[in-house]
Structure 1
Amino acid sequence: MSPARTHYEVLGITRDASLAEVKTAYRRAARTTHPDQGGDAAAFRVVSLAYQTLRDPVSRAAYDRSYGTSSAYQVPASDARAAARSTPRTEPAGGRRPTATDSVRYVPAFSSTPTPVLTETVASRQIHGAPRKRGLFTPQSRLAREAGTVRLLSGRILPHVPAARLVNGLHSPAGRGFIDHVVLCGYRLALVNSMVLPRGVYRWDGTTLHQGGKAIDPPRMASLVRGMQEAFPELNVTGWTVVHSPDDNLHEPVIDYARGADPASASLTHVVNAANLVRELKMFLGTGPSPNVVDVPLLSRLIGGMY
């Protein structure tokens, strides 16, 4: 399948383009695609749809929350082949497999893109967004918990994986619920939510945490993982719930695993303490096929999904 283009790519503008810039880009694109000017009618319809969506703040916000999947169209195969030929190889010299410590490469390269969907300054930031309120009544405990997760990821993951990009506070792709954090690295995406439990030993059976006859349900993430996988079919998506201790001890609480429920399983979601999250995420992100790549259009779509 040829890659899909977002409305921003259709008009050749950055995601933060003003309304005036949207109008200017539309006029420019319309002059080259309008049938009266010798253009293709189908291409003009795509340009018009992009303009109608992005000129209205409400429809633009809804489009961004959909991660740019609604009304996206497929690039013609000839254009896709041309783009592939013009995109620099992401493998290091010598044909060896890229590693997470190789120099960061942006795809497409900024030097080859007249108007990228993100500026290089924005794409080079490792952290985007911060924990925020969801309405009038937001428990401070949630904000504090999410801030703790940001500190964990930014302090113990990002320095070791330079191409990783942390995006905080996203809408669910299904339109209901939220994702606290995502980490994009190459073509792997980790969804991370969190909870706080007292010190102790808990057993995870793949569905529920158990301690002393008490059952505790972690955040339900399977639907979020499936939704993001549908929105981003080019990505390998996995969900993680990190269980913090009240005193920020990375090794507490201790989580024991039933057979087949450990982080090495093929499950869509995993439950881990902070120390295990650091270890497992480094492995998940760093062993992907392109762990030194920042795919700029994918990052742009994720940033657009922030609330």
Structure 2
Amino acid sequence: MITRVDDVDYYELLGVRRDAGQAEVRSAFRALAKVLHPDAGGTAGTFRLLKTAYETLSDPVRRAEYDRGGSTPAVPAPRPSARPRGAAARPRPRTRHDPAFVPPRCTVPPASLPWWHLTRHQAVIGPSGGPGHAPGVAAVLGALLLAAPLLAVGSMSPVVLLGWLALVAAAALTALRLGRAYLRAARARAAALAEFGDRAEFGVPDTEPVAERLTAELIARYPGRLPGAKVFHGLSRPGSVFADVDHAILCGHRLVLVESKLWLPGHYELDDDGALWRNGHPFRGGQTSLAETVATFAEMLPGVEVRGALLVYPSSDAELTVDETPAGGVHPLLAEGFVRTMGGWLAGGCGVMDPHTLRVLRDRVSREAAAV
């Protein structure tokens, strides 16, 4: 049996123009779905009609057919059950996680990663606010140039001589200040080395949840090997003593906060408001506050680029996909996407360890994780 809806204009139902693009159709559907979904107080019939309108107008072929005929293309109605009377009903599909299933490990070949060659280099210990080498070299060259006229001091007029002496004094003062800056930077590097040494991991990962264990292994095998990379397990937000962030990776002035989820197979995405969607429906089976956490850490660490990685694993042996489009600084990712995308981004800031940022994050390792 075929069902058609002839008395409803799908464009009016979604509140979009007839020339609206797919992005506008999608945005309109999501906004309405939040209030018309049965879990939000709507009716199943209304939401089914809304979903049919969205599926029609978001598909170019079905939309063209709808525009030609003014009604939806054929939509099969639910088939009646063919189960004989008295026969045992088939078990309904399980909607909870399968505790016996463990997602396979990520097997990205390291040689295929554009940033992998960086793992052979050493990190630079110390604050990034040092004077660098260029000012010192310029000061030395300037001093030599100013000293050259010493050969002609006897032939200088008093005015020229006074001007030249003033320049020599200014160059000497600049060299003295640079020397003090270099000394402070050297002391800071020595202090950082004494405080942190070669330690690259802080806190202890919670290995009982499958997703967190897989992510800890993933970090250790890939981005955790970048020079200067520091890994944190169980970070707490300001005012909290709980592990609000499963894992975090710091490379120079780039920080990734990682949240691990073991969810049912399907297609997941985040909308512009940071709300979760699964298979085109609002996802009620899980939640994330990673966007708020990213904003909190970005405010706490000015000058540090902060991103969130929502790492999703399937809870059973079926396909799970994500839309990697970020929202609120959060990137929904699978294991391979995390290795390639976040690893490459972190590689752009690796090689330097900033003691101040490291110190702030170390102090945010939660008591539970630090006490293990």
* TM-score bracket, shorter-length normalisation: 0.5 to 0.7
Which of 132, 144, 155 is residue 221 of structure 2 equivalent to? 155
TM-score, scaled relative to structure 2: 0.45
Greater helix share, 1 or 2? Answer: 2
Once superposed, what is the RMSD of the aligned Cα atoms? 3.1
Q: Which amino acid in the other structure matches residue 122 of structure 2? A: S
Q: Is 1:269 matched up with 2:330?
A: yes
Distance in 1 (CA, whole Å) between partners of 2:126 and 2:321 is 40
Partner residue in 2 for 1:237: 306
Greater strand share, 1 or 2? Answer: 1
Distance in 2 (CA, whole Å) between partners of 1:207 and 1:274 is 21
Partner residue in 2 for 1:104: 123
Q: Is the 8 A contact 1:174 1:227 kept in 2?
A: no
Partner residue in 2 for 1:304: 363
What is the deviation of 1:254? 1.3
Distance in 2 (CA, whole Å) between partners of 1:127 and 1:150 is 11
Q: Is 1:226 matched up with 2:292?
A: no
Identity across the alignment (%): 26
Question: Structure 1 235/141 Cα, relative in aligned 2: closer, same or farther at 3 Å?
Answer: same
Q: Is the 8 A contact 2:276 2:282 kept in 1?
A: no
Give 3-state SS (helix, strand or coil) of 2:232's partner.
strand
Distance in 2 (CA, whole Å) between partners of 1:223 and 1:193 is 12
Q: Is the 8 A contact 2:252 2:353 kept in 1?
A: yes
Distance in 2 (CA, whole Å) between partners of 1:287 and 1:296 is 18
The one-character-per-residue Cα deviations of 1:5-41 (angstroms, maximum 9, x if unpaired) are xxxxxxxxxxxxxxxxxxxxxxxxxxxxxxxxxxxxx
Distance in 2 (CA, whole Å) between partners of 1:117 and 1:157 is 22
Unpaired stretches in structure 1, ≥5 consecutive residues: 1-98, 133-139
Partner residue in 2 for 1:181: 247
Question: Structure 1 115/104 Cα, relative in aligned 2: closer, same or farther at 3 Å?
Answer: closer
What is the deviation of 1:197? 1.5
Q: Is 1:193 matched up with 2:259?
A: yes
Q: Is the 8 A contact 2:233 2:248 kept in 1?
A: yes
What is the deviation of 1:276? 0.9
Question: Structure 1 218/278 Cα, relative in aligned 2: closer, same or farther at 3 Å?
Answer: farther
Higher-RCO chain (CA-CA 8 Å, sequence separation at least 6) = 1
Partner residue in 2 for 1:256: 323
Q: Is 1:116 matched up with 2:191?
A: yes
Q: Which amino acid in the other structure matches residue 124 of structure 1? A: D
Q: Is the 8 A contact 2:126 2:192 kept in 1?
A: no
Q: Is the 8 A contact 1:243 1:272 kept in 2?
A: yes
Larger radius of gyration: 2
Q: Is the 8 A contact 1:187 1:234 kept in 2?
A: yes
Distance in 2 (CA, whole Å) between partners of 1:176 and 1:208 is 26
TM-score, scaled relative to structure 1: 0.53
Distance in 1 (CA, whole Å) between partners of 2:306 and 2:205 is 22
Distance in 2 (CA, whole Å) between partners of 1:300 and 1:211 is 42
Distance in 2 (CA, whole Å) between partners of 1:154 and 1:114 is 26
What is the deviation of 1:166? 0.5
